[in-house]
Amino acid sequence: MIPDRTEEQRRGAGEVSCDSPQRGFTRTSADERARTNTRRAPRGLFHYRAGRRVALLLSVLATVATGCSERPDGDAGNDAEGGGDRVSIPVRVEDDAGRVSSFADSPGRIVSLVPSATGVLLALGQMERIVGRTDFDRAPELQDLPSVGGGLNPSIEQLVSLEPDLVVRFRAESDPDTPRQLDAAGISHVAIRPDRIADIHRIIGMLGTIVGQPERADSIRQSIDRGLREVSEAVAGAPRPSVVFLGGNPPSVAGAGTFLHELIGIAGGENAFADGENLYALVSLEEILDRDVEFILTTEPVGLPEALEGIPTARVPLEMLNPGLEVVESARTLAEIFHPDRFP
C-alpha cells in the first residue's frame, strides 16, 4: 500500500482506487511539465505480448471502469446529480486562459466544444451531464445529443438554448466572440488549450476537480503516465532514428513546440527538426534531404514530393496531431513504426 492511497481514501469518502499510483501527483503544472520531460529518458528493456497495442488505449478507460466497480457503495449513479460530495465546495479552478472560475455547485449540465475534453468527461463517467456536442465529436454515445456546430465557431444561439451550467471551450485568442457572448448570457465557461502532453494532464485534473471526481482524474493521469513509460521503456537503448513529420501541401515540418515532437521522443525517435521554432514551419526539400531523415510521418493520403521517395514513410491518423486520451496509443503506434523488433 502506498502512502498516497490512504490519503486518497481519507479525502475520497471511502472510495477505493483500483489503480496503484507509482508516484504521487501534485497539481502544479510546472511539476507536470517536468515529469513529462523526464519520461523521455530510456528506462531499460521491457517486453510486450503481441496484440497489446489495442489494450493500451483501452487500459486508460479500463482503469476508470474498474475504479467504478470497486466502489463499495456503488455511488456511480450519483455522478450526474451530486458527485460534489468528494471535494470541498466551492471549487475554484484556473483555466488555460488564466481565468479563475469558482463553482458553488458542481455543474449539472455541461457542453464541451473541444472533442478531446469531451473524451475526458466521458472517461470521468460524466455522460449524464453532457447535454450537447459539436459536429466533430465521434463518440457513438454522443450522437443523439443536439449539436452546436463547430467547436471554434459554434452557434451561440443553439449553445445558449441548451442552458448549460458550464461550457468547456477551446482557448483561441482569435475567437473573442464565444467567451463574450457566454459572459453576456451568464454561462460559466473554462478555456482549455490542449497543445502538449502536459496540457492534457492538466485538463484531466481540472475537469476532474470541476465534476467532483479528482481521484478518477488522478487514476486516468496515472494510467497515461504508466502507458507512456511502458512505451519509452520498450524502446529504450535502441538506436533512435531521425524522423520528420511532414504535413500539408506545401509540406511543413513539426517543430519542437508540437505534440508530435513529444510523441516522437517517447516512441524512441529523434525529431529531425527539433530546432524549429515555429510549431509547423515550411522548409525546403533540400533541407529535409540534407538532414538524412530515416522515417517520414505524414497525414497526407497521397503523394509526397518525388525527391523524398525511397525514405520509409508512415501515414498516421490526423488525430495524432492533437493530444487527447489516445496519447498512449499514438505513442505506441509510432514506437512500433520506429522499432518493430521491440514489439514482436
**Is 74 one of the binding residues for another protein (CB under 8 A)?**
no
Measure CA 284 to chain center: 32
Interface map 147-166 toward another protein (x if CB under 8 A): xxxx-xxxxxxx-xx-x---
Span near another protein by CB under 8 A; candidates 106-114, 219-227, 265-273, 278-286: 278-286
Nearest residue to 201 via CA among 215, 185, 182, 222:
222
Question: Rounded CA gap, 326 and 7, in Å?
Answer: 29
Measure CA 264 to chain center: 16
Question: Rounded CA gap, 152 and 163, in Å?
Answer: 19
Of 91 and 260, nearer to another protein (C-beta) is 260
Of 148 and 253, nearer to another protein (C-beta) is 148
Give the number of residues in contact with another protein, rule: CB under 8 A: 32
**Is 176 one of the binding residues for another protein (CB under 8 A)?**
yes
**Is 325 one of the binding residues for another protein (CB under 8 A)?**
no
First-to-last C-alpha distance (Å) of the chain: 34
Positions 109 through 138 that interact with another protein (CB under 8 A): 135
We find the least distance from the C-beta atom of residue 112 to another protein, in angstroms, to be: 15
We find the least distance from the C-beta atom of residue 155 to another protein, in angstroms, to be: 4
We find the least distance from the C-beta atom of residue 287 to another protein, in angstroms, to be: 16
**Is 278 one of the binding residues for another protein (CB under 8 A)?**
yes
We find the least distance from the C-beta atom of residue 197 to another protein, in angstroms, to be: 18
- Helix (H) or strand (E) holding 179, with range, is helix 177-185
**Is 251 one of the binding residues for another protein (CB under 8 A)?**
no
3-class secondary structure per residue, 181-248: HHHHHCCEEEEECCCCHHHHHHHHHHHHHHCCCHHHHHHHHHHHHHHHHHHHHHCCCCCCCEEEEEEC
What are the residues binding another protein (CB under 8 A)? 97, 135, 146-150, 152-158, 160-161, 163, 170, 172-177, 180-181, 184-185, 278-280, 282
